């Protein structure tokens, strides 16, 4: 069964361009011309991936992305943002909203398809055991329940990408995971493609781990160690 891709875009010409590109690759394509309808279709259709324009007529694409990623029923759906904004700050804002990737208009069809396939490969590659539970350094990560707890009490609210990142770090506790490895595994591309993506997520993850307000808060933030010029590791 082909993957279903939802396009949330208001420009008719762009919609037709995307539909043609995606259907030539064998994807099932649906679309919406505004944010509110796009959210409804995301909930109803449960697409395998969303292509989201930032400049929608009724609401900003950033807010739509946040809604998708904060909803329990849709938060695992990958989102690729499409925008004319190329500034680094705009990219970081998109990633902080939970976007899985970011592509600037205009773009070539092969670039878009490559990004989509990279995300689908990564989803297939990233396959922890359903009932797997990892408990290290005062943090417990439950894959099946998609829950992270501190000392089996306070829950930490993580985005799907933050959860996956913490899983990889805890799974390989004490081992240095190279930047290139993390970027390829979780985002499907190398450091040269998007060097700040990993940094943004590490910063957000550390911040959430240090906001528990208990005696472990500072220690939790220090669980993720930067190995300068190489990558990161989790220490317990």
Sign of CA dihedral 144, 145, 148, 153: negative
d(CA 146, CA 129): 12
Asked whether the beta carbons of 31 and 7 are under 8 A apart, the reply is yes
- pLDDT at residue 42 tops 90: yes
Q: Which domain-ending residue is among 101, 125, 149?
A: 125
Q: In 3D, which of 123, 235, 134, 230 has the Cα closest to residue 177?
A: 230
Identify whether residues 194 and 90 lie together within a single domain: no
* CA 15 to chain CA centroid, nearest Å: 23
**Partners of 154 in beta bridges:** 150
Identify whether residues 89 and 160 lie together within a single domain: no
Asked whether the beta carbons of 65 and 31 are under 8 A apart, the reply is no
Identify whether residues 81 and 189 lie together within a single domain: no
**pLDDT tens profile 148-206:** 988 766 788 888 889 989 999 998 999 999 888 888 788 766 545 556 788 889 998 98
**pLDDT tens profile 45-57:** 999 999 999 889 9
Identify whether residues 65 and 27 lie together within a single domain: yes
Q: Which domain-ending residue is among 58, 91, 125?
A: 125
**pLDDT tens profile 213-233:** 454 455 677 889 999 989 999
Highest mean pLDDT among 72-86, 115-129, 191-205: 72-86
Lowest mean pLDDT among 38-42, 49-53, 60-64, 130-134: 130-134
d(CA 102, CA 153): 36
* Average pLDDT of the segment spanning 41-46: 95
Lowest mean pLDDT among 44-53, 93-102, 124-133, 202-211: 124-133
d(CA 68, CA 146): 16
Q: How confident is the model at residue 76 (pLDDT cuts 50, 70, 90)?
A: confident
Domain count within the chain: 2
CATH number of the CATH domain containing 171: 1.10.10.10
The domain containing residue 158 runs over which residues? 133-234
Instruction: List, in order, residues 6 or more apart from 131 with CB less than 8 Å away.
Output: 143, 144
Q: Which domain-ending residue is among 70, 98, 125?
A: 125
Q: What is the mean pLDDT of the chain?
A: 85
């Amino acid at each position: 069964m082909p993957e279903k891709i939802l396009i949330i875009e208001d420009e008719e010409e762009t919609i037709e361009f995307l539909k043609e590109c995606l259907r030539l690759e064998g994807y099932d394509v649906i679309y919406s011309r505004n944010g509110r309808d796009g959210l409804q279709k995301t909930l109803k259709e449960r697409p395998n991936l969303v292509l989201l324009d930032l400049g929608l007529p009724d609401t900003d694409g950033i807010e739509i992305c946040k809604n998708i990623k904060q909803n329990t029923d849709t938060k695992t759906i990958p989102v690729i943002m499409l925008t004319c904004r190329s500034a680094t700050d705009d990219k970081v804002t998109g990633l902080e909203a939970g976007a899985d990737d970011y592509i600037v208009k205009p773009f070539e069809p092969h670039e878009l398809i490559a990004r989509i396939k990279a995300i689908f490969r990564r989803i297939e590659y990233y396959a922890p055991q359903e009932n797997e539970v990892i408990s290290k350094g005062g943090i417990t990560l439950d894959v099946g329940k998609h829950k992270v707890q501190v000392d089996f009490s306070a829950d930490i609210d993580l985005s799907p990408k933050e959860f996956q990142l913490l899983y990889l770090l805890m799974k390989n506790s004490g081992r240095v995971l190279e930047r290139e490895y993390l970027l390829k595994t979780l985002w499907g591309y190398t450091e040269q493609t998007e060097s700040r993506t990993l940094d943004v997520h590490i910063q957000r993850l550390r911040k959430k781990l240090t906001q528990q307000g208990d005696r472990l808060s500072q220690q939790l933030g220090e669980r993720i160690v930067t190995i300068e010029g190489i990558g990161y590791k989790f220490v317990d």
